[in-house]
Amino acid sequence: MKANNSLVVRASALAHRGVANLASFVIARFIESGELKLVFPDHQPERLSIFAVYPDRKYTSPKVSAFITFFKDWLARNLEQEQANFR
């Protein structure tokens, strides 16, 4: 099965329909509860990149700049916590 929606893939894995490659934040509570198991616990998944796309850096509004800074910091804190949960 291939899908562009992680919730659909997670539902399939929860229904015992195969192995899934999902982000830790999508499956964390199911790993903790034992509903899902890590198949390759020592494997580090590919790191993904997130990009902020906007017309021109020179004319970026303060709101957009504030959001980019906020989201960058939020991701760093939350992804670091998620990774710590799976070590």
Per-residue pLDDT tens over the stretch 18-72? 999 888 889 989 999 999 999 988 887 777 778 888 777 788 889 988 999 999 8
Is the per-residue pLDDT at 85 higher than 60? no
Domain ranges of the chain: 1-44, 49-87
Is the per-residue pLDDT at 9 higher than 80? yes
Closest CA to 79 of 47, 40, 33: 47
pTM listed for this prediction: 0.60
Q: What is the pLDDT of residue 30?
A: 96
